[in-house]
Amino acid sequence: MRRFRPYFSYLRPQRGLLILAIVCGVVAGIASGAGLPLMVKKVFPVIFAKNAVPLTSWELAMIVLWIPIVFVIRGAAGYLNSYFIQLVGTRVLEAVRLDFFRKLQVLPLSFFQKNSTGDLLSRGLADANQLQFTLTNVANELIKSPVTLLSAVIVIANLAYHENGVPLVLVSLAVVPLSVLPIRYVGKKLIKRAGKIQAELGAVTNIFSENLSATREVRAFGLESREVARFTAVSQILIRAQMKFTKYEKALTPLIEIVSAVGISITLLYAYQIHLDQDTFTTLIMAIYASYEPIKKLGGLNNDMKRGLGSLDRLEAVLHAPETITDAPNAIAYPRAIGELTFETVSFAYMSDEPVLQNVTVRIPAGTVCALVGPSGAGKSTFANLVPRFFDPVAGRVTLDGHDLRALKLADLRRNIAVVSQDPVLFNDTIFNNLLIAQPEATAADVEAAAHAAYAHDFIRGFPEGYATIVGERGARLSGGQKQRLALARAFLRNAPLLILDEATSALDSESEAAIQLALKKLVVDKTVLIIAHRFSTIRDATKILVFDRGEIVATGSHAELHAGNPLYRSLYDRQRTET
């Protein structure tokens, strides 16, 4: 219970509804725990008594109406309790998921490199749902079930004491604590298996997500059977984990009922020995039986808490993950940068023992079009990713106009940068809105001007709905070249002093690429540009080229200088020229 305590804060905004739900639950609990046994005590002896004085119509009506009144109160209160608890639970679930989603927005990219998309989806959906259920169920049943149990116990104790004193009280109530033993035994088994289920559910979700994001590759390489086999394997592991949990969870109710039956038999034997009358015994048995239902619910609540703990562990791995890329306490506001970048003995590693950049020192003056070239894995993309602080260096520092990037407000820093990736991502929205994210306050004329500059306006107007065309998930309704030009249009619209191009023209045909190259000449004026180059045709206008190899800058200069004086650059250039 201590683990859940901080999360009961989610219930605080709903405390009015929760209190109302609990009050309804208490009324239902009293009606069940005390109302039903007293109904048997008050109604049956009058109806079935021999040689009793005849009842008046009014007296008979009051006696007979006891049954529907008890059930109406019990049913109405139980319904309102369930409805309000569901309402509270829905709002709690919304708050938990919102906090989870909000946390994902501020976690560093390194976190997502370590955690699969499917597993994170499972945590945000299934685990959040389990935590919501646990919180609301615990808050409700921790009051409702004990009240029901206490009401029944009071009836048992009072009745037994008046009939045969303390001995009958002890015999009648002895089985109640014995019913807790199955709960404790089953609970120990469940806690080991609850986390396993949630982890395996994450694996299943991950296979689902991965398969749906690779539909073309699956069909192109004939992987349908392999994918079905992979999914079957993880599904079977999940089923085994669920059945191990179910084996113990479903055993709890019959175990408690068996203990209850033994207790009733013992009470029956003792009642025979003390010659207890049938009416009193029936009422006593009804009260004892009424006490077992809340015990079973508390046992079920124990199971829910074990499952909730498994989900809580997985949610806390995200909710408590460190936010390493944040604003410094006295971060500097920096609305518009000049654009000079300096790397001072910068080192970086994704894994502590595998450096990606080592002691990189370079100055890139404002307005420089700087190309980054080198073999795959040489550190080009990592170098560029340090500028918008997707990562922070593990040693050294990166400065913008003389300011350490970590000293600037993160939002201001990124507002000064436009990024066009090799595989641009578009949201499942209109073309207009996908462009507008680059500059939310831009006008329609600004958006169209940016599309013109990126040579995207003509194909956009070719769609029946023009700029209102929905692009589909990740731009699925567009060609690769169209997506790339929309990504470039974003960069034109953002008009930031720093521009990072990760082979931004790679998906364009030769005609479009030539046009884009002309447009880029205008775009890069008075801007600092980093071009992560895979094709040397894209760097012909670069004023500075950095050659990377094994995490180090091994040469800098112009194309002519490097081709003449650097063997690595020359070999890369000549090999590509020969291939083309």
pLDDT per position as a tens digit, 460-497: 999 999 999 999 887 888 887 788 888 889 988 998 99
- Which amino acid is located at 167 in the chain? P
Q: What mean pLDDT do residues 175-184 have? A: 62
Which is more confidently placed, 413 or 488? 413
In whole angstroms, how far apart are CA 317 and each of 124, 131, 312? 11, 14, 9
Give the per-residue pLDDT at 497. Answer: 94
- Residue 210, judged by CB atoms within 10 A of its CB (0-12, 13-18, 19+), counts as middle
Give the per-residue pLDDT at 30. Answer: 75
Among 430, 427, 467, smallest CA distance to 451 is for 467
Handedness of CA 100, 102, 103, 108 (dihedral sign): positive
pLDDT at 507 over 60: no
The alpha-helical segments, DSSP class H, found in 115-251 are 117-122, 128-164, 166-173, 175-178, 180-212, 215-220, 224-249
DSSP 8-state assignment for residue 12? G
- Which amino acid is located at 233 in the chain? A
pLDDT, averaged across the chain:
80
Give the per-residue pLDDT at 58. Answer: 72
Give the per-residue pLDDT at 44. Answer: 65
Model pLDDT for residues 369-386, shown as the tens digit of each residue: 999 999 888 999 999 999
Q: In what order do the strands lie in the sheet with 544-549?
A: 417-420, 498-502, 528-532, 369-373, 544-549, 552-557
Identify the structural domains of the chain with CATH numbers, from first to last.
Answer: 5-319 (1.20.1560.10), 337-416+499-509+526-580 (3.40.50.300), 423-495 (3.40.50.300)
Q: What mean pLDDT do residues 166-181 have? A: 60
Give the per-residue pLDDT at 347. Answer: 95
pLDDT at 177 over 90: no
Model pLDDT for residues 194-243, shown as the tens digit of each residue: 667 767 777 788 787 777 777 766 776 677 888 888 888 888 888 888 78
- Which amino acid is located at 190 in the chain? L
Give the per-residue pLDDT at 392. Answer: 93
Quickly count: other Cβ atoms within 10 Å of residue 135's Cβ. 24
Assign 391 to helix, strand or coil: coil
Give the per-residue pLDDT at 418. Answer: 92
Give the per-residue pLDDT at 188. Answer: 62
Give the per-residue pLDDT at 332. Answer: 93
pLDDT at 447 over 90: yes
Give the per-residue pLDDT at 344. Answer: 96
In whole angstroms, how far apart are CA 409 and each of 323, 342, 404, 496, 499? 15, 18, 11, 16, 18
Model pLDDT for residues 229-283, shown as the tens digit of each residue: 888 888 888 888 878 777 776 776 677 667 767 766 776 676 667 766 666 666 6
CA distance 39 to 70: 8
DSSP 8-state assignment for residue 123? I
